[in-house]
Amino acid sequence: MVFTLTLLTARLDAANAFDAAHSEWTTLLSRVVRNGLVDYTRLQSEVRSLDRYLASLSAVEPGTFKGWDESSQIAFLCNAYNAFTLKLVLDHKPRQSIKEIGGPFRSPWKLPVVRLFGEALSLDALEHENLRKRYQEPRIHFALVCAAMGCPPLREEAYVGSRLDRQLSDQARRFLAQSSKHRIDWDMRLVYISPIFKWFEEDFVKTSGSVWAAIRPYWPEGAKPAAFEKFEIRYSEYDWSLNRFIP
């Protein structure tokens, strides 16, 4: 009984002392992320740091989490998604794509690899049942990185509640500036955008009225998005190969 109470107290102390700046995650990302891609060899050598950060996330109690402001909650969950995704890749290397993990009847996003709030969740549950369902913030789709080249770039720092709005806006600009995913064919009057905008169209429409309205503030300067709003939309091909940085 004494041992149980001691363990419970230790867990509560750890959760209450959680570093809201996510400093260890920022330090790790600054070491392993290059141009939005991941140096998985370096990450493997830093796995103890990753494990410590994941343990700190898992120690946060539901009541503590609910006491935070919305921006801090979103930042916490986005960081958790990205960190647990990297751990999933490391635990199943070598792989050419995250889609090789799991099996023919169970995708990697359905595996119970996320340890939060005393539960084992899947990445899908974290994204769809927690982030998308609870918050009206479509810019999370510029922050969540599923270890594929088609994803937005992985940020070199942690998301933090006090800076979340600026960070998500910057992520949107960085993502839309990637010409492999977003480009304009002026002659054919076509606009190519990431299929992310098709998969999660309802999220962007719900808050902005249309995908174009959601995109307009972040499209690269000089492209004049208003000029091609009536162009035909095409979706670029999603690259599922691993977002590996190769020196």
Are 152 and 192 within one domain? no
Number of domains the chain contains = 2
DSSP 8-state class, residue 204: H
Are 11 and 89 within one domain? yes
Residue 11 in any domain: the answer is yes
Tokens representing residue 61 in the block: 């109690």
Show which of 95, 129, 158 is a domain's final residue.
158
pLDDT at res. 223: 60
Are 144 and 61 within one domain? yes
Residue 29 in any domain: the answer is yes
Q: Which of 103-107, 216-220, 234-238 has the highest mean pLDDT?
A: 234-238
Residue 170 in any domain: the answer is no
Instruction: Give the pLDDT band (50/70/90) at residue 224.
Output: low
Looking up tokens 């979103």 gives: 74
Are 58 and 101 within one domain? yes
Q: How far is CA 152 from CA 13, 15, 20, 239, in A?
A: 35, 30, 24, 11
Residue 246 in any domain: the answer is no
Residue 168 in any domain: the answer is no
Write out the residue range of the structural domain in which residue 115 sits.
2-158
> Which residues, in sequence order, are CB contacts of 111 under 8 Å at separation 6+?
88, 101, 102, 122, 123
Residue 38 in any domain: the answer is yes
CB 173 within 8 A of CB 222: no
Q: What is the pLDDT of residues 39-71, one digit of tens each?
A: 999 999 999 999 999 999 999 999 999 999 999
